[in-house]
């Protein structure tokens, strides 16, 4: 049997759905006729109306305000997700996260713990919730190429370490959950033009960065969303445990 279809999952949970990459994932899934349960700590502004030609069935976006570091809040959202979505989710994409930069000597323990909790611990909590309700399908976690590169353009040890933990989690969970038909992959963006990326406001740094990038430009949220959705689709049915860079070539530069 071959799978060449890029048809998207019909029932999806997306964290960080209010902004940037998570929002682009939610928008694309709704445009394709899917039902999306979007989680964010901020109330979501409405998604754009899907273009009439993109799908024969109208998609649906259901917003839940929750902090992804709050175990009880997440357990409640996941506990009700099947009822909310009309069935177990086919895909979960965990995009909520924060970026903090600081030289290590200036970094407080609180800042370190905040990064670890928001990026690493939340990945565990989302994966735990997903594993309890999914009967198959795909989990995608967002890491960053910063986990693998010491020559990032600014010091961000806590962020990089918090995203390294996401890669380890992906490896272990792919092995653990594969026998249940749940694929687990990570997407590793480079520098993407979203509200998280203040670098775009610093022309000088941006120019230097662009010279290092083989594709000579920053990425866009929809380009990362496309990778998340590919990994969530039937087209990726034999891919698990992978870390897919979406970085304009940063890792090979």
Least distance from ligand NAD to the Cβ atom of residue 141, Å: 8
Q: Supply the minimum distance, in Å, between the C-beta of residue 3 and ligand NAD.
A: 27
**Binding flag, residue 248, ligand NAD (CB under 6 A):** no
The Cα 113–Cα 120 span in angstroms is 10
* Rounded Cα–Cα distance for residues 217 and 115 (Å): 27
Residue closer to ligand NAD, measured from CB, 10 or 192: 192
Nearer to ligand NAD, 68 or 85 (CB): 68
Q: How far is the CB of 197 from ligand NAD (least distance, A)?
A: 4
Report helix, strand or coil for 87.
coil
For the chain, how long is the longest CA-to-CA vector?
A: 56
Q: Which is nearer to ligand NAD, 61 or 99 (CB)?
A: 99
| Selected binder of ligand NAD within 18, 115, 170, 185 (CB under 6 A) | 18
Annotated active-site residue 99? The verdict is no
Q: How far is the CB of 57 from ligand NAD (least distance, A)?
A: 27
Q: Which is nearer to ligand NAD, 41 or 128 (CB)?
A: 41
Q: Decide: is 30 part of the binding site for ligand NAD (CB under 6 A).
A: no
Cα dist. 244→3, 101, 143 in Å? 20, 23, 9
Any contact of residue 38 with ligand NAD (CB under 6 A)?
no
Angle in degrees, CA 28, 195, 223, rounded to 5: 35
Residue numbers 65-124 binding ligand NAD by CB under 6 A:
67-69, 95-99, 118
Query: Which one among 21, 63, 91, 156 touches ligand NAD, defined by CB under 6 A?
Result: 21
Cα–Cα distance for residue pair 8/93, rounded to 1 Å: 13
Whole-Å CA distances, 191 to 37, 73, 206, 218: 26, 31, 10, 6
Q: Is 191 left (phi over 0), alpha (psi -120 to 50) or beta?
A: beta
Residues identified as active-site: 159
């Amino acid at each position: 049997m071959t799978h060449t279809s890029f048809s998207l999952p019909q029932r999806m949970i997306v964290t960080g759905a209010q902004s940037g990459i998570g929002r682009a994932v939610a928008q694309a899934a709704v445009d394709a006729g899917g039902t999306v349960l979007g989680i964010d700590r901020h109330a979501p502004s409405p998604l754009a109306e899907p273009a009439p030609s993109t799908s024969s069935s109208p998609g649906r976006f259901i917003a839940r305000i929750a902090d992804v570091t709050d175990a009880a809040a997440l357990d409640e959202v996941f506990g009700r997700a099947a009822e909310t979505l009309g069935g177990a989710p086919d895909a979960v994409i965990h995009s909520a996260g924060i970026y903090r930069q600081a030289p290590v000597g200036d970094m407080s323990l609180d800042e370190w713990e905040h990064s670890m909790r928001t990026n690493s611990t939340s990945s565990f909590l989302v994966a735990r919730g997903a594993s309890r309700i999914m009967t198959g399908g795909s989990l995608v976690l967002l890491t960053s190429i910063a986990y693998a590169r010491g020559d990032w353009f600014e010091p961000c040890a806590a962020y990089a370490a918090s995203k390294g933990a996401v890669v380890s989690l992906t490896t272990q969970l792919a092995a653990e959950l594969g026998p249940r038909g749940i694929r687990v992959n990570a997407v590793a963006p480079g520098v993407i033009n979203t509200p998280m990326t203040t670098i775009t406001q610093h022309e000088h740094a941006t120019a230097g960065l662009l010279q290092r990038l083989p594709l000579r430009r920053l990425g866009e949220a929809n380009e990362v969303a496309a990778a998340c959705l590919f990994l969530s689709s039937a087209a990726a049915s034999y891919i698990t445990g992978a870390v897919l860079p979406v970085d304009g070539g940063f890792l090979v530069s």
